[in-house]
Amino acid sequence: MQQSLATKTVLITGASSGIGEATARLLSEQGHRIVMGARRTDRLQSLADNLNWNGGQVVYQQVDVTKLTDLHKLVELAIQTYGGVDVIVNNAGIMPLSHLNALKIDEWNQMIDVNIKGVLNGIAAVLPVMNEQKSGQIINISSIGGLYVVPTGAVYCATKYAVRAISDGLRQENDNLRVTCVYPGVVESELANTISDPTAATAMKSFRKIALKPEAIARAIAHVINQPSDVDTSEIVVRPTASPA
């Protein structure tokens, strides 16, 4: 299939590791202009230096996605540097799994703040710009945990179900926007580091044996972006071939 070769200005949250970092690398190699956000700016700086050294156009800013003002600043950076925003990848997320009985209420709230409100903040920051230009693309990273629930995953899965609902509502309400919800299966990354519950951490070790490289998800995101503007890949699930569920 013929693909559009147009280069885009792409905002990526959570670009300091894992799927976000791999996506920044791949899209930069493809010639897209990248605007990265995350809290660890040392990581973002070395990634930006590396990509720019290799001919990329990459800038970054410290972003905590739970703060709408930080997302507004990221959009402003994109406009100041590259003249607009074509795509946002709302990727930042955390996954401190545990049984509900463990009552890790602070972690429930953190997941709701980062995984749901963080996505909404990203959407809120780009919508006025995209509505004004009558075009844009919003790619939200859910999970296979947004398709079914597993023990220890009640709250995490709830946040990823929410990302699915938000993405579908956004798509239905906007004729000019391409909206994609991405559902990755297990992927090698730093995500499991956010698990504080020992039982959930042990279970995750065996689950992650078949993990995909983050580049697999980056390729799916790049595919979605590189489609012609009249094609909206609204949902995409990427699992390890050996995944039982």
Enzyme catalytic residues: 156
Q: Residue 23 Cβ, how far from ligand NDP at the closest point, in Å?
A: 9
* Two tokens, residue 8: 């885009």
Binding of residue 77 to ligand NDP (CB under 6 A): no
Residue 27 is a binding residue for ligand NDP (CB under 6 A): no
Q: Compare residues 38 and 85 and give the one whose CB is closer to ligand NDP.
A: 38
Total interface residues for ligand NDP by CB under 6 A: 29
- Taking the C-alpha atoms of residue 173 and residue 177, their distance in angstroms, rounded to an integer, is 9
Asked if 136 touches ligand NDP (CB under 6 A), the answer is: no
Residue 133, number of CB atoms within 10 A of its CB: 12
- CB count in 10 Å sphere of residue 74: 28
With beta carbons less than 8 A apart as the criterion, state whether 111 and 155 touch: yes
Q: What residues from 101 to 120 belong to the interface with ligand NDP (CB under 6 A)?
A: 114
Residue partners of 242: CB distance under 8 A and separation at least 6: 210
Token pair, residue 24, equals: 């920044």
164 near ligand NDP, rule: CB under 6 A: no
The stretch near ligand NDP (CB under 6 A) out of 71-79, 127-135, 169-177, 184-192 is 184-192
Q: Which residue among 66, 226, 227, 243 contacts ligand NDP (CB under 6 A)?
A: 66
Stretch that binds ligand NDP, among 77-85, 122-130, 188-196, 224-232 (CB under 6 A): 188-196
Which of 7, 26, 39, 215 is close enough to bind ligand NDP by CB under 6 A?
39
Where do the DSSP E strands lie in the chain?
9-13, 33-38, 57-62, 87-90, 136-141, 177-184, 235-238
Under the binding rule (CB under 6 A), the answer on residue 19 touching ligand NDP is: yes
Contact between 153 and ligand NDP per CB under 6 A: no
237, β-bridge pairs: 183
Q: At what angle do helices 68-82 and 118-133 cross, to 10 degrees?
A: 40
Contact between 40 and ligand NDP by CB under 6 A: the answer reads yes
The Cα-based distances of 67 to 84, 86, 137, 219 in angstroms read: 21, 21, 21, 29
Does position 72 bind ligand NDP by CB under 6 A?
A: no
Contact status: 24 vs ligand NDP (CB under 6 A): no
Nearest to 164 by CA among 136, 186, 144: 144
Residues that bind ligand NDP (CB under 6 A): 13-14, 16-20, 38-40, 63-66, 91-95, 114, 141, 143, 184, 186-187, 189-191, 214
